[in-house]
Amino acid sequence: MPYTPTRGGHAPGHLREAFIEWSEAGCDPRGIVMDAEARPVRWIVGQLWNCTDVMPHYVCETLGLRHGSTYAMGVRFARTLRRC
């Protein structure tokens, strides 16, 4: 069954990787670049809002979240940064 952001579950790797790159780049409020296309941060937040995949520990540390946090937790936290 394909991933549907509103249902959640296991998100495609390119979406998770885009969030990782954005967070490692300092959570740039101007947006993210995915497939050579600029997108607003709120787009990736919407794509991963219900994602149950666990983020790598280094991403959790970058965002100041506990190890084992999901991408859903990560994007919800990112949204509180007022950069989305």
Q: Which residues sit opposite 33 in a β-bridge?
A: 38
13-47 pLDDT tens trace = 999 999 999 999 888 888 888 888 899 988 999 99
Phi, then psi, of 65 in degrees rounded to 5: -105, 160
Give the residue carrying structure tokens 């794509």.
47
pTM, entire model: 0.88
What's the rounded Cα separation, in Å, for the pair 3 and 50? 10
Q: Is 68 left (phi over 0), alpha (psi -120 to 50) or beta?
A: left
Is residue 84's pLDDT more than 60? no
What's the rounded Cα separation, in Å, for the pair 22 and 84? 12
